[in-house]
Structure 1
Amino acid sequence: MHTVYRITKKTKLLTHADSNYYRSYIVEEEGEHYSVHRPEEIIGRNCLSYKASLEGRLDVVKGILKSSTKLPVPIFPEYGIFLMPTASIRNPSCVWIAYHQVHHYETYKKGTYIHFYDGTGYFVNITEAAFDKQYKRTSQVIVHLNREKLFGYAESW
């Protein structure tokens, strides 16, 4: 039995691996890893290890964004770990980017190049406008989940 990769502040991204054996390709500050688990499985198990189900996290985000597509996932919101997808969860080209690792991003060829804080980067095959929308949606979720800390009051539902 393989242990599931633990998403931490050092995680930069997860995506599907182009392999017959490995299901995920993971990039973190220390390097690259592969996992036999699918990205969705890694994300779901990490949510559980941080005391919530993936479905529960997504339900909260749906309420905040009033949307049900390409939802960012608060993996461990208390420590600022949020992942944002570049495509639908079921799309094999989806890349899950760690919000806190993104320094800036720019158009590169027909996609977007993401610059991370450690000076590395990664190309994603979506437009800069689409990535910017995901980045801002994730920001919106972060503010809603931290409203009490930031402003002294919680939002009532």
Structure 2
Amino acid sequence: MVKNYYSPSYEITPFTMAVLADFGKTEEYTTCVLETQEEFFVEPSPTKLVDFACKSFGASLKGRQEGTRDICNITHKAPIAIDPSSGMYFFPTISPINTKCSWIAHTHIDQLKMTDNHCTEILFKNGKSVTIDVSYGSMLNQIQRTAQFRYLLDNRIKYLRRQGADMVAEPYA
């Protein structure tokens, strides 16, 4: 259900599918948030919302980007894990310093479609879709890079948990 309303504040959750840069009806810059059950507009830019979300889980957006670089050497348009334990992995559509940058939740994507106007339609698992003014190749690359990052980070977390379990099982071995 689409709800065209403005919310004074918003926090990204596991139900957030996309945080889109959008120009509202008043031609003021606003952000459109797509969730699994609703859509609405908020004041902060998409990148600011992502930074707020990262901070609510103990790190800044910049820190998350540096972590991505350290784990898989992605330096530009880096995907991030807002909260890996709840599957909140997002990637930017263009450079996050650009005001037209949107953020897409990797978990919610079902498929991509190339459009006639060199844009990309993102089809989400719940049947909703959105068209982004980014090439199909660029979007496909972002999805693949996010999948690589998720795989490497998830393996690192599993390894550390196993190491912790071994240390608890044999603390003086």
What is the TM-score of this pair, normalised by structure 1? 0.87
* Superimposed CA distance per residue, residues 112-156 of structure 1 (whole angstroms, 9 cap, x where no aligned partner): 11110011111111222111110011011111111046xx535xx
* Superimposed CA distance per residue, residues 44-100 of structure 1 (whole angstroms, 9 cap, x where no aligned partner): 111111122222111111122323211112111111101111101122332211101
Unpaired stretches in structure 2, ≥5 consecutive residues: 1-6, 161-173
Q: Aligned residues: percent identity?
A: 26
C-alpha spacing 1:93/1:21, structure 2 compared with 1 (3 Å): closer
The alignment partner of 2:104 has SS state of strand
The RMSD of aligned alpha carbons is 1.8
Whether 1:72 aligns to 2:79 is yes
Whether 1:145 aligns to 2:153 is yes
- Which has more radius of gyration? 2
Q: Which residue of 2 aligns with 1:111?
A: 119
Unpaired stretches in structure 1, ≥5 consecutive residues: none
Whether 1:44 aligns to 2:44 is no
Aligned residues: 151
What is the TM-score of this pair, normalised by structure 2? 0.79
User: Quick one: distance in 2 between partners of 1:3 and 1:61?
Assistant: 31
Match among 129, 137, 156 for residue 129 of structure 1: 137
Contact 2:54/2:61, CA 8 A, preserved across alignment: yes
Q: Which residue of 1 aligns with 2:20?
A: 15
User: Quick one: distance in 2 between partners of 1:37 and 1:10?
Assistant: 19
